[in-house]
Structure 1
């Protein structure tokens, strides 16, 4: 089962995903995709870690999510935007190569028997990116979000902390 939780910044995506995971399992896995860029980001990581208790197994993995031992587990992947950033930076801002690499990893995840809850951002719904590299990343994020949504069994849009189901399993592409 694949869930995609999407929405704007601070819309309640992570909280909702964590509640869902705990409804589905008494011992879920949390996969953090963030790189530790600076001290501000370090504080953000610490805040997220503080939101989870001893029921959680936490794993940090920047890119190769499909190589993790996640079979028969409920897994929250937080988040697609940071995960894509890692591909984007490593490919020197190449949209096509980043998308190919991320899709290949996602296909590995799809082959694992488990429940995956992906958290992503709808950055294209926000302020227009002011730089060329920013616009390229918005494009990459949009393409990947479409791909994930097509492959997900359920897609939930978070709006001001309220989950709005926009796709259910019988609508899978």
Structure 2
């Protein structure tokens, strides 16, 4: 497993399942860093489904805002899975935090991690242009964050219908 891997794709494209397999492939145990907050019943159900699917072998941490601090605190032997950057970005934007500075800090933190990190994010730029300002701002912010983190990662995969496509091999320099 490479040191840092970004997995992107559309909703329900198999990103999380792929990330879980990659994170567990090294030793059968991993750290799950959740960025979601259970603000309603539907999100609580989603979180419960994710936990049930993962099963044993996982140590869970919640990082709705302080993702870099949580990565640093959990660095060690076990791979970490961050699910997902899109929710993290949402949390940052809703809290009024400087999301661009936080994204830059995350990109700078990845090379110093000693244990592997697998990050999941949504690809939001493949659809139509949103019809309202907030949605366009979010789409643009997510695009910037995804590009910034992809640049910092060793590998990038696009998940389509549960099938991973490697889009950034480790031997390409541009």
> What is the rounded CA distance, in whole Å, between the counterparts of 1:100 and 1:22 in structure 2?
30
100-109 vs 133-142, which deviates more?
A: 100-109
Q: Deviations along 1:119-151, whole A, 9 cap, x unmatched?
A: 000011134323210110000000000011111
User: Which residue is 1:76 aligned to?
Assistant: 81
Change (3 A) 1:71 1:172: farther
> What is the rounded CA distance, in whole Å, between the counterparts of 2:117 and 2:69 in structure 1?
14
Query: Contact (CA 8 Å) 2:110, 2:152: kept in 1 or not?
Result: no
Instruction: Confirm or deny that 1:52 pairs with 2:83.
Output: no
| Structure 1: gaps of 5 or more residues | none
Runs of 4+ in 1 over 4 A off after TM superposition: none
Aligned residues: CA RMSD: 1.6
| Structure 2: gaps of 5 or more residues | none
Query: Contact (CA 8 Å) 1:6, 1:122: kept in 2 or not?
Result: yes
Q: Deviations along 1:38-81, whole A, 9 cap, x unmatched?
A: 11111111111111112111111112122222223201100000
- How far is the alpha carbon of 1:116 from its aligned partner? 0.4
Query: Contact (CA 8 Å) 2:103, 2:148: kept in 1 or not?
Result: no
Return the TM-score normalized by structure 1.
Answer: 0.91
Change (3 A) 1:113 1:172: farther
Number of residue pairs the alignment of both structures matches: 169
Instruction: Confirm or deny that 1:151 pairs with 2:155.
Output: no
Query: Contact (CA 8 Å) 1:14, 1:78: kept in 2 or not?
Result: yes
User: Which residue is 1:117 aligned to?
Assistant: 118
